[in-house]
Amino acid sequence: MPDGKWRVTASRIVHKDRWVHLRADDCVTDEGAVIAPYYVLEYPDWVEVVALDADNNVLLVKQYRHALGGVSTELPAGGMDAHETDPVEAARRELLEETGCAGTLSLVGETRPNAGTHTNRTHIVLARNVTKVAEPQDEPSERIESVWVSCAEAVRMALAGEITVGMQTASLLRGLAAAGVARIQPDEK
């Protein structure tokens, strides 16, 4: 049985700037079908922080998202800088920059934002005993409001679609399960 892997016969950069890197590949499937062009978005890896205080309240952020055209409720998160190789350290930086908070961090795991078109990974980082230690960094493109909610409220918001970024909903649920503060189990029949 073929492994399903496509062969790339040509590749070119369509657009590259600080926001997006778009590549077009000409491909041939293992069955010989030509797929050209096939567009791939190359992003740096991202980190998403499931931040809990000593009482297991969850830190969320609200910020304007231009593509959405409105305010989004999310986890503290961001892209890893080009020089960063450790997702926990990148998460520590993002948490401090966006919220002015710090805590004890550990890596939970990773997901893929969109394996069909994106090259990057999303690293899920759990932060425990989070407290505010500084003022958030002033970034004109990020006007962020920090909000603490109970663990139960965060799960309710995720399941009700109030946290609309799908990969962040997955990160939230995995992080809370890893912290032992939320149980996710299938229905028993």
- Are 110 and 126 members of one domain? yes
Same-domain pairing of 27 and 53 = no
Task: Indicate if 78 and 160 belong to the same structural domain.
Answer: yes
pLDDT tens, 81-125? 999 999 999 999 999 999 999 999 999 999 999 999 999 999 999
pLDDT tens profile 70-81: 999 999 999 999
* 164 φψ region: left (φ > 0), alpha (ψ -120 to 50), beta (else): alpha
Please state, in angstroms and rounded to a whole number, the distance separating the CA atoms of residues 80 and 5.
28
Please check the confidence at residue 31 and state whether its pLDDT lies above 60: yes
Tell me: pLDDT of 18 over 70. yes
How many whole angstroms separate alpha carbon 30 and alpha carbon 156? 44
Q: Are residues 13 and 105 in the same domain?
A: no
pLDDT at 102: 98
Q: 123 and 77, same structural domain?
A: yes
- Of 180, 53, 178, 47, whose CA–CA distance to 125 is shortest? 47
Q: Are residues 96 and 155 in the same domain?
A: yes
User: What pLDDT is recorded for position 39?
Assistant: 98
What is the domain count for the chain? 2
The pLDDT mean for the chain works out to 94
Look up the pTM and report it.
0.91
The residue written with tokens 């830190």 in the block is 59
Nearest to 131 by CA among 105, 104, 103, 167: 103
Domain enclosing residue 25, as ranges: 7-41
Sort 96 into a burial class: Cβ within 10 Å, 0-12 / 13-18 / 19+: middle
- pLDDT at residue number 142: 77
Answer whether residue 2 is part of any domain: no
